């Protein structure tokens, strides 16, 4: 399962080796990428296994990452992009969405297979997956008419409710989570790109994608170590906080 990724990664490294952004000449900062990967691995290990060595590694790598980024001619996280409030709010929301989605998938899979077989468990996830097949089309029309903020707020609200319902009523929780994800994620991409400084739309979009995957990793690490009810309560609280940040901050803007 893991080895199948190796040739894909090697091919990707070959393909992106000489990529430059024509407008800026920015190159890939390999040191920053390696330090970020090491930091995320250590952080995940520290959460899952609660080892002191991993916690120390997290602190050291965090400092190294800041130093590498400040000295880099092409930082992976440009300060001008992060300085935009709209981008920051979008990144927080994206991390919260993937935290709840990936962590929830992990917890529900373990929970359902206590009573169901693998095939039945897969079919039980249809309430979550079906909305993601058609609802993004609706989301696209809503974004075009009302802007990205209302769909993202609606998605985070549905995710909050879905996480609260997932443990006592799994099918309802999965249905709400499915609609929440398919409302929020397509709109988040538009919102972050619109909020990015001129010429930095690609960087902002890539940063959103990276932060979402960090949220997914932490979601599995954190929620996987808790009882199902507690895990979903944590995810619901995170989605609620992200929604409040977006609602209050967006109104001020």
Q: Last residue of a domain, which of 21, 53, 76?
A: 76
Who contacts 33 (Cβ-Cβ below 8 Å, separation ≥6)? Answer: 76
Q: Looking at the structure, do residues 98 and 63 belong to the same domain, yes or no?
A: no
Q: What is the tally of structural domains in the chain?
A: 2
User: Which CATH number characterizes residue 151's domain?
Assistant: 1.20.1250.20
Q: 113 and 195 in one domain? A: yes
Q: Are 152 and 115 in a shared domain? A: yes
Residue 215, token pair as written in the block: 């949220």
* DSSP-derived 3-state class of residue 73: coil
3-state secondary structure of 2: coil
| pLDDT number for residue 199 | 83
Complete DSSP assignment for 144-195: HHH-SHHHHHHHHHHHHHHHHHHTTSHHHHHHHHHHHHHHHHHHHHHHHHHH
Residues 1 and 120 in one domain: no
- Which residues have a Cβ under 8 Å from the Cβ of 246 and sit 6 or more positions away? 89, 92, 93, 149, 152, 153, 156
> Can you list the alpha helix ranges (DSSP code H) found in the chain?
5-16, 30-49, 52-71, 79-82, 85-112, 118-124, 126-146, 149-166, 170-195, 201-223, 228-252
The verdict on 66 and 128 lying in the same domain is no
CB 103 within 8 A of CB 241: no
Whether residue 147 sits in one domain with residue 101:
yes
Domain span holding position 242: 77-252
Looking at the structure, do residues 53 and 113 belong to the same domain, yes or no?
Answer: no
Could you say which of 58, 76, 94 is where a domain stops? 76
Indicate if 97 and 6 belong to the same structural domain: no
Domain end marker among 76, 97, 112: 76
pLDDT at 249: 84
pTM to 2 decimal places: 0.87
Non-local (6+) Cβ contacts of 87 within 8 A are 81, 192, 195, 196, 204, 207
Residues 128, 12 share a domain: no
**8 Å CB contact between 184 and 93:** yes
C-alpha to C-alpha distance for 227 and 111, rounded to whole angstroms:
10
60 and 19, same domain (yes or no): yes
| Tens-digit pLDDT string for the chain (253 aa) | 889 999 999 998 888 766 555 555 567 788 888 998 899 889 889 988 888 999 999 999 999 999 998 888 778 788 889 999 999 999 999 999 999 999 999 999 999 998 889 899 999 999 999 999 999 999 999 999 999 999 999 999 999 999 999 999 999 999 999 999 999 999 999 999 999 998 889 889 999 999 999 999 999 999 998 998 999 999 999 999 999 999 998 766 6
- Are residues 71 and 85 located together in one domain of the fold? no
87 and 63 share one domain? no
């Amino acid at each position: 399962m893991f080895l199948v990724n190796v040739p894909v990664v090697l091919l990707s490294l070959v393909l992106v080796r000489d990529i430059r952004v024509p407008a800026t000449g920015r190159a890939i900062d390999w040191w920053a990428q390696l330090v970020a990967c090491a930091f995320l691995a250590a952080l995940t290990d520290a959460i899952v296994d609660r080892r002191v060595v991993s916690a120390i590694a997290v602190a050291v790598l965090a400092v190294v990452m800041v130093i590498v980024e400040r000295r880099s001619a092409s930082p992976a996280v440009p300060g001008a992009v992060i300085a935009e409030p709209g981008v920051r709010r979008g990144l927080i929301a994206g991390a919260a969405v993937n935290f709840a989605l990936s962590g929830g998938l992990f917890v529900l899979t373990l929970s359902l297979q206590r009573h169901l077989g693998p095939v039945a468990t897969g079919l039980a996830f249809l309430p979550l997956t079906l909305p993601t097949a058609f609802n993004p089309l609706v989301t696209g029309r809503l974004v075009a008419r009302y802007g990205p903020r209302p769909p993202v707020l609606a998605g985070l609200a549905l995710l909050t409710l879905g996480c609260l319902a997932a443990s006592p009523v799994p099918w309802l929780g999965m249905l709400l989570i499915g609609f929440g994800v398919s409302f929020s994620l397509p709109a988040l991409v538009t919102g972050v790109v619109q909020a990015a400084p001129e010429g930095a739309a690609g960087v902002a979009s890539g940063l959103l994608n990276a932060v979402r995957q960090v949220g997914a990793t932490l979601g599995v690490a954190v929620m996987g170590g808790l009882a199902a009810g507690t895990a979903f309560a944590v995810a619901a609280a995170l989605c609620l906080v992200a929604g409040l940040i977006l609602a209050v901050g967006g109104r001020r803007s």
